[in-house]
């Protein structure tokens, strides 16, 4: 099975089994942005999750959360940020666009206030590294050692379809949990979901993950050289900000970031409870961006009218996420319905 298909099916399974936010392909570095990408992230709801869901369906920019802007009197936006003015302006505009800030114009200057206080909305964060075939590990060991030493997420798990041997376990850090994923087309749902939500996957927990020290400084490996590795010590505050960015990105992005191919061999498949792009010619879920097109031997382009009809009756992935998860596609938002008197000040 391709890693892409494995990833989507695992996301669908996790989403149907526990409340929270599931997302994929998210940056999990601090000192080296983009240096580590987690395949799957699951964010458990915190005590004020509903308050977060009521603000916006999009990710809130972290500089806007950290800015000196409250819900009371509006503030001149340039005085509210401790960063480059260009970045501050982009952040301000985006925060207004997604509904976290509201803007007032005074003497041809933009003043902003938060539409709601930023809530304590997320709890534990689980990171999952997907490696269906352990015989082709790639940089698996180094990636997992980075996750453990940095400790940005509360727990890290390796998910695989391979039989897990003692030799495999010895090659990865003890703190990393291990799941073996089994595919069973006849598997029912033991948790009482409808048949349409029954997953064909079962997870065997080979080893439980050990909780990581997310509230303490971490070590992030940077570049490796013969005999030495460059590192950066990431303090607890920087990790806390990075965790908040990770949770926000997960909330805004989710895991349904794939396309459906414009090909007669591909059809939407909702047997997992979530709708995935299934190719009958390949016999599996496919990545339209990298696997589909005229170069594929099974490519069967739809006539233009058929393609149009398909798109008209296609899957609404946002509506599906809204229906299946606590994420809200169109929240009421917290913008004030009437202008405050202080706009005339």
> Do residue 110 and residue 128 come from a single domain?
no
Q: What percent of the chain has pLDDT over 90?
A: 71
Reported pTM = 0.88
> Do residue 157 and residue 284 come from a single domain?
no
> Do residue 244 and residue 130 come from a single domain?
yes
Is 223 a domain residue?
A: yes
SS (H, E, C) the chain: CCHHHHHHHHHHHHHHHCCCEEEEEEECCCCCCCCCEEEEEEEEECCCHHHHHCCCCCCCCHHHHHCCCCCCCCEEHHHCCCCCHHHHHHHHHHHHHHCCEEEEEECCEEEEEECCCCCCCEEEEEEEEECCCCCCCCCHHHHHHHHHHHCCCCEEEEEECCCCCHHHHHCCCCCCEEEEEEECCCCCCCCCCCHHHCCCEEEEEEECCCCCCCCCCEEEEEEEECCEEEEEEECHHHHHHHHHHHHHHHHHHCCCCCCCCCECCEEEECCCCCCEEEECCCCEECCHHHHCCCCCCCCCECCHHHHHHHHHCCCCHHHHHHHHCCCCCCCCCCCCCCCCHHHHC
Domains in the chain: how many in total?
Answer: 3
Q: State the first-to-last Cα distance of the chain, in angstroms, to the nearest integer.
A: 63
Query: Sign (positive/negative) of CA torsion 146, 152, 157, 158?
Result: negative
Q: Looking at the predicted structure, is the pLDDT value of residue 342 above 50?
A: no
Q: Which of 137-146, 209-218, 297-306 has the lowest mean pLDDT?
A: 297-306
Q: What is the largest CA-CA distance in the chain?
A: 71
> Do residue 276 and residue 247 come from a single domain?
no
Query: Final residue of a domain: which of 232, 253, 274?
Result: 253
Give residue-wise pLDDT tens across range 207-242.
999 999 999 999 999 887 787 889 999 999 999 999
Is 343 a domain residue?
A: no
> Do residue 193 and residue 65 come from a single domain?
no
Is 127 a domain residue?
A: yes
Q: Which of 21-25, 49-53, 268-272, 306-310 has the lowest mean pLDDT?
A: 306-310
Q: Looking at the predicted structure, is the pLDDT value of residue 190 above 80?
A: no
What's residue 59's pLDDT?
A: 98
Q: What percent of the chain has pLDDT over 70?
A: 88
The tokens describing 269, both together, are 């498949």
What's residue 188's pLDDT?
A: 40
Q: In terms of residue numbers, what domain contains 186?
A: 3-49+120-253
Query: Final residue of a domain: which of 93, 114, 135?
Result: 114
310 — pLDDT class (breaks 50, 70, 90): very low
> Do residue 190 and residue 240 come from a single domain?
yes
Give residue-wise pLDDT tens across range 168-186.
999 999 999 999 999 865 5
> Do residue 79 and residue 166 come from a single domain?
no
Q: Looking at the predicted structure, is the pLDDT value of residue 341 above 60?
A: no
Q: What is the CATH number of the domain that holds 153?
A: 3.40.1350
The angle at the Cα of 201, spanning 16 to 289, to the nearest 5 degrees, equals 80
Quickly count: other Cβ atoms within 10 Å of residue 11's Cβ: 25
Is 27 a domain residue?
A: yes
> Do residue 67 and residue 194 come from a single domain?
no
> Do residue 10 and residue 126 come from a single domain?
yes
Is 289 a domain residue?
A: yes
The tokens describing 180, both together, are 């073996």
The tokens describing 46, both together, are 């915190």
> Do residue 11 and residue 152 come from a single domain?
yes
> Do residue 38 and residue 76 come from a single domain?
no
What's residue 345's pLDDT?
A: 35
Is 339 a domain residue?
A: no
> Do residue 243 and residue 135 come from a single domain?
yes
Q: How many angstroms separate the Cα of 144 from the Cα of each of 36, 185, 241?
A: 10, 31, 21
């Amino acid at each position: 099975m391709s890693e892409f298909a494995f990833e989507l099916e695992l996301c669908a399974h996790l989403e149907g089994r526990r409340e929270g936010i599931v997302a994929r392909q998210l940056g999990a570095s601090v000192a080296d942005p983009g240096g580590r990408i987690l395949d799957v992230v699951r964010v458990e709801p915190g005590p004020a999750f509903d308050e977060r869901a009521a603000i916006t369906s999009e990710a809130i920019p972290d500089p806007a959360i950290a800015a000196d802007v409250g819900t009371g009197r509006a503030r001149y936006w340039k005085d509210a940020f401790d960063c480059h003015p260009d970045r501050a302006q982009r952040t301000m505009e985006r925060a207004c666009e997604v509904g976290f800030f509201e803007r007032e114009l005074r003497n041809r200057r933009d003043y902003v206030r938060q539409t709601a206080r930023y809530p304590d909305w997320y709890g534990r964060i689980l990171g999952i590294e997907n490696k269906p075939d352990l015989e082709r590990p790639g940089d698996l060991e180094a990636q997992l050692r980075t996750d453990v030493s940095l400790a940005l997420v509360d727990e890290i798990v390796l998910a695989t379809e391979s039989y897990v041997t003692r030799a495999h376990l010895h090659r990865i850090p003890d703190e990393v949990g291990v799941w073996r994923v089994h595919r069973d087309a006849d598997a029912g749902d033991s948790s009482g979901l409808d048949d349409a939500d029954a997953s064909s996957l079962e997870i065997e927990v080979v080893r439980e993950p050990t909780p990581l020290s997310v509230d303490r400084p971490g070590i992030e490996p940077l570049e490796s050289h013969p005999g030495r590795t460059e590192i950066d010590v990431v303090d607890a505050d920087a990790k806390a900000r990075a965790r908040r960015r990770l949770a926000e990105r997960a909330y805004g992005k989710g895991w349904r970031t794939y396309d459906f191919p414009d090909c007669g061999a591909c059809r939407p498949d909702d047997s997992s409870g979530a709708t995935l792009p299934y190719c009958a010619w390949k016999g599996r879920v496919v990545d339209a961006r990298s696997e589909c097109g005229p170069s594929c031997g099974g490519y069967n382009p739809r006539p233009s009218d058929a393609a149009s009809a398909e798109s008209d009756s296609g899957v609404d992935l946002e509506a599906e996420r809204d229906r299946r998860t606590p994420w809200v596609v169109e929240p009421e938002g917290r913008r004030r319905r009437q202008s405050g008197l202080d706009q005339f000040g």
